[in-house]
Amino acid sequence: MPVRGIRGAICVSEDQPDAILEATETLLKAILEANPGLVIQDIACGIFTTTEDLSTAYPAQAAREMGWGEVPMICSQEIPVPDGLPRCIRVLLEWNTELSQHEIHHVYLGAAASLRPDLIDIEKPLGNDI
């Protein structure tokens, strides 16, 4: 079975554990909603990164609290690119699926939509970042 990557990102307003966990949960729920065939049992792994200005919580903790306990996950720090988007959480989920890469829906919420406008295929009102 092929493995496909699903990308997503969201920004937070402050480096606080609750903000990081809430934003990560919002992002993961949006990814699940955008990819209706995605079930937790088919996620091969999750890779989370945060910008260097976020260090008070692991984004993977939010996934575990959502019931993703058997999914292998890791958190890392994004490289500090000058003028990069601040307070950003990114995720790469590897999904065991027969879908083609073209059928995968990536999710970039709020200010993080500026990272990959080419991957945003449906504009929805997203409100403010968390």
Residue 117: the pLDDT is 84
Instruction: Determine whether 87 is an active site residue.
Output: no
Determine the distance from the C-alpha atom of residue 84 to the mean position of all C-alpha atoms in its chain, rounded to a whole number.
17
124 pLDDT above the threshold of 60: no
Q: Which residues of 34-60 are buried (b: 16+ CB within 10 A; e: fewer)?
A: bbeebeeeebeebbbbbbeebeebbbb
To the query of whether residue 7 is one of the catalytic residues in this protein, the response is: yes
| pTM of this prediction exceeds 0.85 | yes
pLDDT tens digits, residue range 40-88?
999 999 999 999 999 999 999 999 999 999 999 999 999 999 999 999 9
Residue 108 known to be catalytic: yes
- Which of the residues 33, 45, 64, 103 is marked catalytic? 64
Answer yes or no: 45 catalytic: no
- Look-up: residue for tokens 């699903």? 6
Average pLDDT, the chain: 92
pLDDT tens string 29-53: 999 999 999 999 999 999 999 999 9
pLDDT at 101 exceeding the cut of 60 = yes
Domains annotated on the chain, with CATH: 3-119 (3.30.1330.40)
